[in-house]
Chain A
Amino acid sequence: MEEFLKQFFDVGFMVDHFDEVLDGFWVTVQLSVISGALALVWGLILATLRQLPGKALLPVRFLTIAYIDVFRGVPLLLLILIIAGGIPALDFLPEWLRLPQWFGKPDSFWFGVLAITITYGAYMAEVYRSGIESVPGGQMEAARSLGMSHGQAMRSVILPQAVRKVIAPLLNDFIALTKDTTLVSFIALNEVTLVASDIQSETFNSSALTLGAIMFLVVTLPLARLVDKLIAREQGRFTRGAPRVEAL
């Protein structure tokens, strides 16, 4: 038992390596927030493109659906490796694109951001779509009958309602995204997993990894509770005065 605790939960060891692991976790947080924000926006753009009306825009819808299908189907780790190994080899690109070092972050950070945004943009597009499709058709009709264009109706009437309905599932995806940032350790980004795993290889003690896990929980558990609250609130809206809201 003592050996078990020493291997995984050595408090003294954790204290000794706390600053190192925290530095790594700070990189994880930055990676999560930047990729998460970009994926939220990119997903919304994809979902909007997917809903464009008319025959003329069929190719746009088709390409969008193809994109979403492909990148939901490809493992994130593969994409990370493809991007990080591939882009620097493209000699025709200028160096600031081939080996981006923006804002003092290494290229591996930005390749991670790109891969995560591509993948999670596809996931989030599907979440937005479910929200858009849950808005009753009468809303679009009412907006169009008042003379609004499809774009105006989307922006002012459909999306505000759709986004409100999907905040909880989007947050769920964000939690998953946060955990998936650990995959960027494969291309040598010194985020929490890589830092703690290096400590493990040097010391044969796993407590630094446990500490990393605890840091994740400190962030993800409150987010999970927030998701529950949002879902409860959304359901509350529909049970209070149900017929009237249903009628909308």
Chain B
Amino acid sequence: MESKGGAMLSLHGVCKRFDKLEVLRGVDLEIKRGEVVCVLGPSGSGKSTLLRCVNLLEPPEEGDIRLEERSICKGPGSGSGEQSWELDFVRQRVGIVFQQFNLFPHKSALQNVTLAQEKVLGRSTAEARKKGAKLLERVGLGDKLDEYPERLSGGQQQRVAIARALAMDPHVMLFDEVTSALDPELVKEVLDVMRELAEEGMTMIVVTHEIGFAREVADRVVFMDGGVIVEEGAPAQVLESPREERTKQFLGLVLER
């Protein structure tokens, strides 16, 4: 396991708006190598947008994001839209898992995991299949290589999605409410995979409503509301004795269930 050291990812004053709606209003966050950060907050607080800014699915309007100490914004004069971002640099280092899985329905589990390896990393079919099979084995789906997504349960699909992201050898993994679309009995199998990943030293940002997971696995918990980080700290501190009134309110509502 790598030691938790230098900054893997740092965000400074990140702002994002959709038309008039300000979703992120200046977010500063630093994530160390090997750190697991859980992001909590009510819906609409900007948690998902924060993740989508980091991997440039929704490039921020203002602020700076540094990945492995390199700015991912190319700066002025580099062109418009996607051209102004270090898209390849980011996407090759940052993996994301979505709430809705977004598996490719016309591909088998194994093909889902091998497609980008071949197209993007240029791995041979044999190499990609070997890696894919190993990863699917690791997430407990060694017997489902040739199944198509529609024949897999939600929990199984989400584990395929995790394997698909891991196949690209990411340095950071983003999890966007990955258990929110799952039936309750399927949540654990996905969280178990994520827990193992954390133990192996993967740098992870996990947007979640699973307070128990945050308490057990996170090195740090971040609470967001209204597009800013309201409070952050060790899980025990933020979850057991929050300083901010809004954090208390939110945790009160969540833990009541």
Contacts and interface: CB of A to CB of B under 8 A. Distances in A.
A161 B104 CA distance: 9
Contacts of B98: 138, 141-142
A98 interface: no
A156 B81 CA distance: 23
Interface string B50-77: 0000010100000000000000000000
Nearest to B105: A248
Interface string B146-170: 0001111110010001001100100
Contact of B106 (A141, A164, A244): A164
Interface stretch (A17-25, A146-154, A178-186, A202-210): A146-154
Contacts of A244: 149-150, 152-154, 157
Interface string B28-51: 000000000000000000000000
Given A138-B102, A248-B149, A145 B91 contact: yes
Given A146-B164, A148-B116, A247 B154 contact: yes
Interface of B: 55, 57, 80-82, 88, 91-92, 95-96, 98, 100-106, 115-116, 119-121, 149-154, 157, 161, 164-165, 168, 181
Interface of A: 53-56, 136, 138-139, 141-148, 152, 156-157, 160-161, 164, 237, 241, 244-245, 247-248
Given A55-B81, A247-B154, A145 B57 contact: yes
Contacts of A54: 80-82
Contacts of A146: 91, 95, 115-116, 120, 164-165, 168
Nearest to A135: B105
B105 A156 contact: no
Nearest to A146: B116
Contacts of A136: 100, 102
Given A54-B81, A152-B119, A244-B150, 4 more contacts: A55-B81, A145-B57, A152-B120, A247-B181
Closest 5 CB pairs of A and B: A146-B116, A142-B102, A138-B102, A147-B120, A147-B91
Given A56-B80, A245-B150, A147 B168 contact: yes
Interface SS, A side: helix
Contacts of B102: 136, 138-139, 141-142, 248
Nearest to A163: B106
A56 B115 CA distance: 28
A147 B101 CA distance: 17
A244 B149 CA distance: 8
B106 to A, nearest CB: 5
Nearest to A158: B104
Contacts of A161: 104-106
Nearest to B103: A248
A17 to B, nearest CB: 49
A245 B116 contact: no
A215 to B, nearest CB: 37
A122 B11 CA distance: 47
A148 B98 CA distance: 17
A157 B104 contact: yes
Contacts of B151: 241
A144 B80 CA distance: 18
Contacts of A145: 55, 57, 91, 95-96, 165
A153 to B, nearest CB: 9
A245 B105 contact: yes
Given A145-B55, A146-B164, A164-B106, A138 B100 contact: yes
Contacts of A142: 98, 102-104, 161
B59 to A, nearest CB: 12
B104 A139 contact: yes
Nearest to B55: A145
Nearest to B112: A142
